[in-house]
Amino acid sequence: MDEKKNSENWLDAGLQALAQTGPEGLRIMSIAKQLGVTKGSFYWHFKDLEAYRQALIEHWELRHTRDAIECVESLGGDAATKLCYWLTGAAASDLALARAIRSWALTHRGVQEVQTRVDQQRIDYLISLLRNLGWADAEARTLGRWSYWAFVGYSTLTGPPVTEKEIGLILSVLMPHKLST
């Protein structure tokens, strides 16, 4: 086994720990144990725990927002198809991690700044898709924010996962052909 691992291994393990136990789970020794390495491996990649936490939240932003948007864009299709990919992906995402990060943002200014930036990036992406679907700017902004707020609310609750049929209904509400009827 690679004693040092790499920084991405540490960051992925940190996101897993965060999802499972919240920010209290971000302990060097417990993550080192999970990775099967020594504490020295941590210091090979990170100055201290605060530097790790900052790298962790930035890693989350990259993987769960920027990379997610790039993935949807790379799949191609029209705006309706991309919106379907986005909603399906969001519904299938790790909601425990989303809840843990949003909770952590309530007590940690750096996390709050990244969470705010992520929220805006996601809303902006939804707005752009809705504009491309034919919604006027004001309506696209309203629907983009409303859709995202609904998802944030959904992500904080426990319950059954969103079904394909429910995603279809949500998409039908967001399609602009409803404007002409």
Give the pLDDT confidence of 62-107 residue by residue, as tens digits.
Answer: 999 999 999 999 999 999 999 999 999 998 888 999 999 999 999 9
Q: Which CATH topology does 52-180 take?
A: Tetracycline Repressor; domain 2 (1.10.357)
> For residue 47, what is the DSSP state?
S
Q: What is the DSSP string of 81-102?
A: HHHHHHHHHHHHS-HHHHHHHH
Provide the pLDDT for residue 177.
63
Half-sphere exposure of 86 (CA within 13 A, CB side): 29
d(CA 109, CA 178) in angstroms, rounded, equals 42
Which residue stretches of the chain have pLDDT < 70?
1-5, 177-181
- What number of other Cβ atoms are within 10 A of residue 15's Cβ? 21
pLDDT at 160: 87
Cβ atoms 65, 121 nearer than 8 A: yes
Q: Under CATH, which number does the domain 1-46 receive?
A: 1.10.10.60
CB 42 within 8 A of CB 17: no
What integer pLDDT is reported at residue 4 of this predicted model? 53
- The pLDDT value recorded for residue 159 is 81
Every domain range in the chain assigned CATH 1.10.10.60:
1-46
pTM for the model: 0.89
Residues forming CATH 1.10.357 domain(s) in the chain: 52-180
3-class secondary-structure state, position 157: coil
pLDDT of amino acid 61? 96
